[in-house]
Structure 1
């Protein structure tokens, strides 16, 4: 009579340990990628939030006369010149408070007249290098015009 021995099918302990070790090495190599992605996601979210705040501030102004400030002579817009900024005050937008300002310059090209380029800038108080920006063209209303 022949004795038959059945072999159990399955994984040995060494095979399981080797596969777990390989899996651990792969996971460890990808952890820095996920942490960097989370950091960049937070930075981009904050930047988007300040840009949205700048657009909200810009939507409040339609004409140059809506902005209270000392307008003696606005500089003409150019890439090399930097316009002086006018502080608009602190504004609460959503659940955050922002320091807001606007930079103004006359936009003169071709036959365009009475147009002012306004760059609205919002700055988060806890992070001074984080600024949001929105550009808008405002009409320069002539208050000295006679009817």
Structure 2
């Protein structure tokens, strides 16, 4: 008569502990990647929010006549001189308060005239390192055409 020995199928405790150790080492190696991704997502989200706020401010201004009383002389953008900066005040967009300004300069290249580059800049009051920017081109109305 033959006696058959049955082996039980399954994992031993040692095999399970070894596999859990290897799995925990792999997970620990990836934890810094996930924390860095979360930090970058927050920074990029805040930057996107301030840029969006700058676009909202830029949409309020359609032509240069909105700034005409505050402009003395516009420098040319390609020159190294600074642009004409105008403080627009504090504006609340969404749930954040922003300090806003616009920098104006004449945009002149071959064949392009009567165009002003306006760079709208927003700074979040609760986080001054956050700066949003939106560029827009405005038509410059000559004083002869207004008369």
TM-score normalised according to structure 2 size: 0.91
Aligned residues: 147
Could you tell me whether the CA contact under 8 Å between 1:74 and 1:106 is conserved in 2? yes
User: Is the deviation greater in 71-80 or in 124-133?
Assistant: 71-80
Equivalence for 1:114: 114
SS state at 1:32 partner: helix
Is 1:40 the counterpart of 2:27? The answer is no
Structure 2's unaligned 5+ residue stretches are none
Could you tell me whether the CA contact under 8 Å between 2:101 and 2:121 is conserved in 1? yes
Could you tell me whether the CA contact under 8 Å between 2:71 and 2:84 is conserved in 1? no
Could you tell me whether the CA contact under 8 Å between 2:51 and 2:122 is conserved in 1? yes
Equivalence for 2:90: 90
Return the alpha-carbon distance in structure 2 between the equivalents of residues 77 and 30 of structure 1: 47
Return the alpha-carbon distance in structure 2 between the equivalents of residues 12 and 79 of structure 1: 77
User: Is the deviation greater in 38-47 or in 83-92?
Assistant: 83-92
Could you tell me whether the CA contact under 8 Å between 2:50 and 2:132 is conserved in 1? yes
Return the alpha-carbon distance in structure 2 between the equivalents of residues 74 and 146 of structure 1: 18
Equivalence for 1:51: 51
Q: CA deviation at 1:8?
A: 0.6
Return the alpha-carbon distance in structure 2 between the equivalents of residues 79 and 25 of structure 1: 57
- Report Cα offsets for 1:13-69 as digits up to 9, x if no partner: 000000000000000000000000000011001101111111111111111111365
Could you tell me whether the CA contact under 8 Å between 1:69 and 1:86 is conserved in 2? no
Equivalence for 1:124: 124
SS state at 1:112 partner: coil
Return the alpha-carbon distance in structure 1 between the equivalents of residues 96 and 42 of structure 2: 16
Return the alpha-carbon distance in structure 1 between the equivalents of residues 96 and 75 of structure 2: 32
